[in-house]
Amino acid sequence: MSRILLGVNIDHIATLRQARGTSYPDPVHAAAVAEHAGAEGITVHLREDRRHIIDRDIYLLAKTLKTRMNFEMAVTDEMLDIACEVKPTYVCLVPEKREELTTEGGLDVAGQMGKVGAAVQRLDEVGIKVSLFIDADKTQIDAAVEVGAPLIEIHTGCYADAENEAEEAKELARITEMAKYAHSKGLIVNAGHGLHYHNVKPIAAIPELYELNIGHAIIARAAIDGLATAVKDMKQLMNEGRRGE
C-alpha cells in the first residue's frame, strides 16, 4: 500500500497576518514548522486580490522551503509571469472569483482548452509540473489529459459540504471512481478542499490518491493545539485511513 502525502496549505496563517497588517504570523515560519512536523509539501494560493498570501511570501518560500512548493494560482498572465520567475515544483491552476469566500468549484478545463493548454505548455517549458484543480468529473479528467497536465487535484468540496450521510457517501463514491479513472489515464491524482480531522480518513483510503492538500482545518486546529501537533495529528489520521484502520 503506497503512502499518502500531505501538502499543508498555509494561506490562513497569512489571513491572520493580513487581518491587522502586521508582520506576524509569518507564513515562512509556519511553513518551516509544518515541514519539520512531517508535511511533504507546502501549498500557497496567491490570489489576485492578495487577501492572504502576498508576493513576498512566494519569493521567500521559494528560497527557504526544504520540501517543495505547490503554487496555486488562477490562469492569468500576471500569475504565469510570477510562476515562471519563481519556478515552484508544482503549479496548481485553480478557478478564482474575487467575490468568492473560498474556491467554489473546479477549473473548467473542458470549456477553455486553448487557454489552459497554453498555460500548461508555458509552465512545462520552464520545468514546472502542472496540476489542474478539477471536479470529480470524467469530462474534466479527459480534458486534463488532452491538455497535457501530468497531475490533477480532485476538488473534495462537495464531499466536505455534504449535508447528510447519504450525500457524503455519494460524493465519496464519485471521488473514488474518478480517482481510479484518472489514475488509469496515467495522471498523478491529488485531492483537497474542505478536508478536516473528521472526514479525511475515507479520502486518504482511496489507493489511487498521491497527496492531499489540506489547509483551513489544520490552521484552525493550530490555533488551539499548535501547528506541529495539528500537522502530526492530520498525518496520523491520513496514515490510518490509508491502512484502512
Ligand X SMILES: NCC(=O)COP(=O)(O)O
Is there a binding annotation on residue 36?
Answer: no
Interface of this chain with ligand X, residues 177 to 196, rule: CB under 6 A: 192-195
Is there a binding annotation on residue 174?
Answer: no
Residue 131 sits in the site that holds ligand DXP (CB under 6 A): no
The cell for 212 is: 492531499
> What distances in angstroms separate CA 88 from CA 85, 126, 233, one per listed residue?
9, 10, 27
Provide, rounded to whole angstroms, the least separation between the CB of residue 135 and ligand DXP: 12
- Concatenated DSSP letters of 223-241: HHH-HHHHHHHHHHHHHHH
Compose the 51-90 pattern: x for residues touching ligand X by CB under 6 A, - for all others. Answer: ----------------------------------------
> How far apart (Å, rounded) are the C-alpha atoms in residues 4 and 41?
12
Residues designated as active site: 45, 72, 193
User: Is 140 or 213 the residue whose CB approaches ligand X more closely?
Assistant: 213
The residue within the footprint of ligand X, chosen from 87, 115, 174, 216 (CB under 6 A), is 216
Residue 158 sits in the site that holds ligand DXP (CB under 6 A): no
User: Is 40 or 153 the residue whose CB approaches ligand X more closely?
Assistant: 153
Residue 131 sits in the site that holds ligand X (CB under 6 A): no
How many other CB atoms are there within 10 angstroms of residue 99's CB atom? 6
- Concatenated DSSP letters of 25-71: S-HHHHHHHHHHTT-SEEEEE--TT-SSS-HHHHHHHHHH-SS-EEE
Burial of 211 (0-12, 13-18, 19+ CB in 10 A): buried
User: Is 35 or 135 the residue whose CB approaches ligand DXP more closely?
Assistant: 135
The residue within the footprint of ligand DXP, chosen from 9, 131, 140, 190 (CB under 6 A), is 9
The cell for 110 is: 473542458
Binding site membership for 3-amino-2-oxopropyl phosphate: which residues? 9, 20, 194, 215-216
